[in-house]
């Protein structure tokens, strides 16, 4: 069970302020590319894509946290800041840098208990952990599960199909690309711990499998006419 922080609940206004800060930080990272910020050429590594991914993770992590009894405030704030440094720091250290940014914000924007800040920052730091999720706090597990689940299902399929255009692939390769989403989804379903996350994973996998079957049928029809 997560430890509820009663002393300083996150108000809607405070959370909106955090969201604006994260978006502005991501945009600044792109603008400062020549000074160390990184802007990859894929459009989903833009500030807009990264922010949308973050909001997706916030929504999924909050849903899991509520159903699994985790501290919702810790979970959603950690989710909001988990990739804030993604566009300016190397992949290997973006989690630690994100925790640093989150701590600086929380210490300067409110009177949050140190215990709350530590829990948030620990979850951000550990969100790239590749080991057994049972070794982590419930809040961190909710964040990691949400991060995994955002890349599967209809959303993950749409992103993979967008990627095809930037790799100069044709629609005839689309079933293979959707297969990658299925593979990623199966890996995610095996890794997540909570019943809520497993339920979300299996529901998303069903949608992707249905789409792949539909797609393969149409491609086979087109190939038979060639």
Q: Answer whether 99's CB lies under 8 Å from 125's CB.
A: yes
- The DSSP letter of residue 130 is -
Q: Answer whether 46's CB lies under 8 Å from 159's CB.
A: no
- 61 token code pair: 């992590």
Report pLDDT for 25: 95
> Cα–Cα distance between 223 and 108 in angstroms, integer?
61
Tell me the CATH number for domain 12-147: 1.10.3210.10
List the pLDDT tens digit at each of the 226 positions of the chain. 444 444 447 899 999 999 999 999 999 887 655 544 444 545 556 888 899 999 999 999 999 999 999 999 999 999 999 999 998 888 889 999 999 999 999 999 989 999 999 999 999 999 988 888 888 999 999 999 999 999 888 888 887 777 776 665 666 677 778 888 888 888 888 899 999 999 999 999 998 888 888 877 777 776 666 5
> Cα–Cα distance between 104 and 116 in angstroms, integer?
13
- pTM, full prediction: 0.85
3-class SS of residue 98:
helix
The H or E element containing residue 144 is: helix 138-149
């Amino acid at each position: 069970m997560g430890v509820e922080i009663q002393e300083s609940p996150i108000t809607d206004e405070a959370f909106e302020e955090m969201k604006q800060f994260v978006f502005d930080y991501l945009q600044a990272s792109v603008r400062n590319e020549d000074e160390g910020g990184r802007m990859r050429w894929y459009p989903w590594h833009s500030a807009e894509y990264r922010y949308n991914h973050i909001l997706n993770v916030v929504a999924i992590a909050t849903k899991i946290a509520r159903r699994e009894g985790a501290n919702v405030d810790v979970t959603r704030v950690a989710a909001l800041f988990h990739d804030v440094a993604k566009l300016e720091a190397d992949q290997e250290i973006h989690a630690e840098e994100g925790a640093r940014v989150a701590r600086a914000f929380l210490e300067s924007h409110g009177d949050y208990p140190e215990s709350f800040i530590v829990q948030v920052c620990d979850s951000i730091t550990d969100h790239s952990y590749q080991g057994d999720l049972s070794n982590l706090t419930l809040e961190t597990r909710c964040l990691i599960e949400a991060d995994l689940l955002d890349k599967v299902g209809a959303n993950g399929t749409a992103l993979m199909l967008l990627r095809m255009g930037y790799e100069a692939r044709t629609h005839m390769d689309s079933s293979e690309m959707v297969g990658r989403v299925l593979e990623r989804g199966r890996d995610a379903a095996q890794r997540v711990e909570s019943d809520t996350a497993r339920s979300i994973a299996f529901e998303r996998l069903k949608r992707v499998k249905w789409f792949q079957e539909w797609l393969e049928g149409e491609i086979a029809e087109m190939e038979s006419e060639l």
